[in-house]
Amino acid sequence: MPQFVIPANLATADDGAVRAWTGDLPRLVADIAQRWALRVADPFEPGGTCSWVAPVRDAAGRDLVLKVCWRHPEAAHEAEGLAFWAGDGAVALHAAEAFDDRTSALLLERCVPGTALSETVEEADQDVIVAGMLARLWREPGEGHPFRSLQVMCEQWAAGFERRFSTAPGGLDPGLARTGLQLWRALPASAESSVVLCTDLHAGNILAAERESWLVCDPKPYVGDPAFDVLQHMLNCESRLVADPVGFAHRMAALLDLDPERLGRWLLARCVIEAPESAALQGVAARLAP
C-alpha cells in the first residue's frame, strides 16, 4: 500500500484537535473514497491547516477534487454556499456529506491549471479580479436560507479580541482599541444591504480554471454587509495597506461601488481586532482613526 501523505500545512497545524484528527485521516479518506467510488491521488501541497484536499477521479471518469474537512464553525456552511452559487463564479459542488462529528467531505470541480491568482497576477492587478468575483457572488440569500449573520461572527471575534487584549495588548492604544471594537460591533447592524458573503476571499482562494478564467474556492459564507467582504484581500496586501490605507480603501470602494468612508471604518475595525498580533496593523489602525 502506498504511504498516506499529510500535506505540510496540515501536518504542522497549531490546533491540537486538528493534529489528533489527522491521525484518523487514512481511514476516513479510504472510507469516503469507497463510498463515492473515487480513485484518490496524493494531496495538494502545502495544503490548508484544517482540511485534506486531493485530486480524484470518479467512476464516470471525471477529474474532481476531494476535500475532507475538520469541521469548525467558520466553515460550517461551505457546502451550502457553493450550492447557492451553483458554479456561478465559484467552483461547482458535486456532493457533500458529514461523516461524523469531526469530519465532512466535499466533492468539487477541479480547476485546471488551478494556479492561484496570487501566484500569477501582480498584486495591484489582483484588485480588479477580486472585485469582479465579489460583485458576482454578492446576492440576497432569499427566505429560509441556512447562513448565519455577519453580526454573529463579529460578536464572536469581538469576544476573542477582548480576551486577548486583556492579557496581551501588544502595544495597542486602549482608546483606539475601544473605538475599533465599538465600530466592529456596530457596523453589521447599520448595513443598507445584506448579501451572501465569502468572508475569506483573497487572491490565494481564486484559481485559474478552464470553464472560466477564475473561480473562487474555500468560501466561509455569512450574510451581511458587502463592505466587510473586501477586507481579507486588503489585509493580504500588507505592503500597500501600510503605505496608503485610505487610498487603498478608496480604490477598492470605487471598483465595487461602495461607500469609501464606510469601507474605511470597517478597515479600521478589522485592523484593531487583529492589532494585538500585528504591529503593522496597529499602525494602519492609528492612521485610519478619526
Query: Among this protein's residues, is 24 annotated catalytic?
Result: no
Q: For 70, phi and psi rounded to 5 degrees?
A: -75, 120
Q: Which of 200, 218, 225, 229 is catalytic?
A: 200
Pairing of strands 63-70, 93-98: unpaired
Residue with cell 480576551: 163
In 162-194, which positions are buried (b, 16+ CB within 10 angstroms) versus exposed (e)? Answer: eebbeeeeeebbeebbebbbebbeebbeebeeb
Residues 6 or more apart in contact with residue 50 via CB below 8 angstroms: 10, 13, 15, 18, 69, 70, 72, 75
Q: How far is CA 11 from CA 41, 46, 100, 223, in A?
A: 18, 9, 21, 32
Residue 94 is which amino acid?
H
Task: Give the CB-side neighbour count of residue 164, counting CA atoms within 13 A.
Answer: 18
Cα 96–Cα 100–Cα 102 angle in degrees, nearest 5:
95
Active site residues: 200
